Structure 1
Amino acid sequence: MDQPTVGILHPGSMGATVAACAATNATAVLWCQAGRSAASTARAAQYGLTPVATLSELLDRSDIVLGLCPPAAAEALARNVAEHRFAGVYMEANAINPERAQRIAALLAPDTTAVDGGVVGSPPVGGKTPTLYLSGPDDATARIEALFADTAVRTAVLGAKVGKASALKLAYASFQKTSRVLVALAVGMAREHGVDQELIDIASRRTDSYLSEPQYIAKTAARAWRWGPELEEAADTLAAAGLPPEMLRAAVSTLARWTDAKDDSELTLTDALDQLAQP
């Protein structure tokens, strides 16, 4: 099969690096400049993505489109693609709940074939190898597998039902991200009473505990603007399954205290804890 042309919507920190991996097995990887920030432009240039002026041009030229954006924008993005009657494969790889993934697949049909995707792990740079879980029609998931063959993005197909990849992504995120929030609260409580170092010493004797990594609290704060909406999606998934969502909604409320820390790579542990204690 000829190498496909791929479009990426949009080149954020995960999207740009995943798209760069796809370029290994693609004729070109396109991104749409319209309405994007200077940071997106710089990121796209860094990873060798090809700019186009409009979404229409991207969709007309692409065989496969990768959708990676904040969860809140996922359906609006898919609706824009549906309006153009895109006749290819659309991988919905946002951190959204299974019902939304199924709704998006229905929105795109019959012109577009939807694949449900979920990326678990860090962006594929510096030796990191995230796994892209896929669910959807066999021929479409096979095309996505081929796109990432022999790259830093590993793929795993979960079956033909759209929603399974999203469910797995959120199930993992609900544990991993909420655990990081609990670490921040535990260290914040201990610091208030002058026993934070003792707490960390206890945790360091348990190598499997996130509590032994308090330095990650600052990274959690900087990513809170992304993690909050993702955990909202996970809470909705719990509620739909008849499981209690309150713990995850509380984590979302905690993450909201770090609104001003968005993508702040200079944030220190002390700064993060100070912001957490002063809403």
Structure 2
Amino acid sequence: MDQPTVGILHPGSMGAAVAACAASNATEVLWCENGRSTASAERAVRFGLTPVTTLSELLGRSDIVISLCPPAAAEDLARDVAGHRFTGAFVEANAINPERVQRIAALLEPDATVVDGGVVGSPPVGGKAPTLYLSGPASATERIEALFAGTAVRTAVLGTEVGKASALKLSYACFQKTSRVLVALAVGVAREHGVDQELIEIASRRTDSYLSEPQYVAKTAARAWRWGPELEEAADALAAAGLPPEMLRAAASTLARWNDAKDDGELTLTDALDRLARP
């Protein structure tokens, strides 16, 4: 198969590094310099990307376009691409929800073939190797797999349904990103009382992730009646320390959906999730 020409929209820290990996199996990787910052231009030069002056030129020359931009801009960017009647493969790789991906697919099809993508991991530099999860038409996901073959970007295909890759990305982000914020709150309130080092020492005894133990959700549900008030108390402590309490109040509100499961030792994971979704 001939090597494709690839366009990247836009070369941020993740996009530029991913594009540089794609360059291994592409004729060239284009980026549009119109309206981009000096930092973007410097990044593009550093990663060996080829500048073009207009979006029209980029789309006209590209067989595959990868969209990696701030989530809020994803649909507007797709709308711009749709206005040029792009006919290649469009990889929607932004951290957006499945419904938005499906709206974008509706904008671009049938002219373009849309592949849903979700990058999990850090930019592929300095030995980092993120995974690009893909879902969409098999012929198109195969092209994207080939584009990143042998590079620091691993690929994994989740099926033909557009939206699955984004669902996986955001499901993981729910935990991974929020847990980092919880660390800041926990250490912040501990520091206020001079026990932050002791907190870190307690945490260091446990090295695995709660996300890998979903069976514990049922136990959480059974204990929610007392965990919720405990988190309300913790939220009060955060507020007293000048830290934002809203996240813990939201967690307490979530736990309240399980109040009728008080001390239910027979509760299963399925039961707990069903109650959470349909209180």
**What's 1:215 paired with?**
none
Give the conservation status (yes or no) of the 8 Å contact 1:174–1:248: no
How high is the sequence identity, in percent, across the aligned residues?
Answer: 83
**What's 2:56 paired with?**
56
Q: Deviations over 1:3-36 (max 9, x none)?
A: 0000000000000000000000000000000000
**What's 1:11 paired with?**
11
User: Does the residue aligned with 1:3 lie in a helix, a strand or coil?
Assistant: coil
**What's 1:186 paired with?**
186
**What's 2:200 paired with?**
200
**What's 2:117 paired with?**
117
Cα distance, 1:204 vs structure 2: 1.7
User: Does the residue aligned with 2:129 lie in a helix, a strand or coil?
Assistant: coil
**What's 1:129 paired with?**
129
User: Does the residue aligned with 1:118 lie in a helix, a strand or coil?
Assistant: strand
Amino acid corresponding to residue 36 of structure 2 in structure 1: R
Cα distance, 1:206 vs structure 2: 1.8
Between the aligned partners of 1:142 and 1:249, the Cα distance in structure 2 is 45
Between the aligned partners of 1:163 and 1:249, the Cα distance in structure 2 is 31
User: Does the residue aligned with 1:8 lie in a helix, a strand or coil?
Assistant: strand
Q: TM-score, normalised by structure 1?
A: 0.75
Cα distance, 1:207 vs structure 2: 2.4
User: Does the residue aligned with 2:134 lie in a helix, a strand or coil?
Assistant: strand
Unaligned runs of 5+ in 2: 211-245, 252-279
- Aligned alpha-carbon RMSD (Å): 1.7
Q: Deviations over 1:243-277 (max 9, x none)?
A: xxx969969xxxxxxxxxxxxxxxxxxxxxxxxxx
**What's 2:145 paired with?**
145
Give the conservation status (yes or no) of the 8 Å contact 1:89–1:112: yes
How is 1:226-265 mapped onto 2 (pairs within 5 angstroms)?
A: none
Unaligned runs of 5+ in 1: 211-245, 252-279
Between the aligned partners of 1:110 and 1:207, the Cα distance in structure 2 is 48
Q: Deviations over 1:173-224 (max 9, x none)?
A: 10111111111000011011111111111112222369xxxxxxxxxxxxxx
User: Does the residue aligned with 2:56 lie in a helix, a strand or coil?
Assistant: helix
Query: Judging changes above 3 Å, is the alpha-carbon distance between structure 1 residues 154 and 199 closer, same or farther for their aligned structure 2 residues?
Result: same
The reply to whether residue 33 of structure 1 matches residue 9 of structure 2 is no
Query: Judging changes above 3 Å, is the alpha-carbon distance between structure 1 residues 209 and 106 closer, same or farther for their aligned structure 2 residues?
Result: closer
**What's 1:156 paired with?**
156
Between the aligned partners of 1:173 and 1:202, the Cα distance in structure 2 is 25
Amino acid corresponding to residue 40 of structure 1 in structure 2: S
Between the aligned partners of 1:147 and 1:112, the Cα distance in structure 2 is 18
Larger Cα Rg: Structure 1 or Structure 2? Answer: 2
Amino acid corresponding to residue 208 of structure 2 in structure 1: D
Give the conservation status (yes or no) of the 8 Å contact 1:10–1:16: yes
Query: Judging changes above 3 Å, is the alpha-carbon distance between structure 1 residues 204 and 178 closer, same or farther for their aligned structure 2 residues?
Result: same
List 4+ stretches of structure 1 deviating above 3 A: 246-251
Give the conservation status (yes or no) of the 8 Å contact 1:178–1:248: no
